[in-house]
Amino acid sequence: MELFGLPVETVYFYALIFSGAVTLLYLFFGDALSGLLDGLINPVLIFSFIAIFSAAGYAAEVLTSFHSILIAVISAIISLILVILLNIFVLIPLSAAEESLVYKETDLRGRTGTVITTVPEDGYGEVLIESISGRIAKPAVSFNKRTIPSGSKVLVIDVADGVLEVGLYEEMENFY
């Protein structure tokens, strides 16, 4: 069978090369296009569908003697199933995991941490804040201009330019 004056195998092969090239371009320039495609279907799903459809169609045309329309229908069904599975088991969990690891500095206000480098009354020390997603070590200054020794439990009062303003937890607990 011919399509666009070419054998169907060739059309499937060209579609496979095209989808691979577009996927590669999207890999490199996808962040620039993400604002244009917000709210629409994920382009990865479209490119994956075309790639799987054309690969399955090409393989079936070369290896079987089925009619080309039947091969196209079977290839579309296989591609649809695999793309749905890709979305459910790979893309959705990845997008959820990415968001859970991101934090804003303002989110650190009110958190408790441990001093790992003594915070002098007029200088910088370091505080370690532990959470479910990992540990965050940030520079810190004393909120009430007192030395805070290493190993002390502190409360983050504010964050300014990436530096935590902290106070001893026991003192700040009574302060509020």
Q: Return the CATH number at 124.
A: 2.40.50.140
65 lies in the same domain as 82: yes
83 lies in the same domain as 67: yes
112 lies in the same domain as 91: no
Three-state DSSP class for residue 150? coil
The series of mean pLDDT values per 10 residues for the chain, 176 residues long, is 77 90 81 64 84 92 90 94 91 68 75 92 91 85 90 90 87 60
Task: With beta carbons less than 8 A apart as the criterion, state whether 155 and 112 touch.
Answer: yes
CA–CA distance, 87 with 171 (Å, rounded to integer): 50
Q: Which residue, 79, 100, 121, sits at the end of a domain?
A: 100
pLDDT at residue 17, as a whole number: 93
116 lies in the same domain as 95: no
Q: Which domain holds residue 131?
A: 105-175
pLDDT at residue 36, as a whole number: 64
Q: Which residue, 100, 117, 133, sits at the end of a domain?
A: 100
Q: Which residue, 100, 122, 145, sits at the end of a domain?
A: 100
pLDDT at residue 39, as a whole number: 59
83 lies in the same domain as 112: no
Question: Is the pTM here over 0.85, yes or no?
Answer: no
pLDDT at residue 71, as a whole number: 92
For residue 112, report the phi and psi dihedrals to the nearest 5 degrees. -105, 155
pLDDT at residue 170, as a whole number: 79
118 lies in the same domain as 53: no
CA–CA distance, 53 with 60 (Å, rounded to integer): 11
Domain count of the fold of the chain: 2
57 lies in the same domain as 72: yes
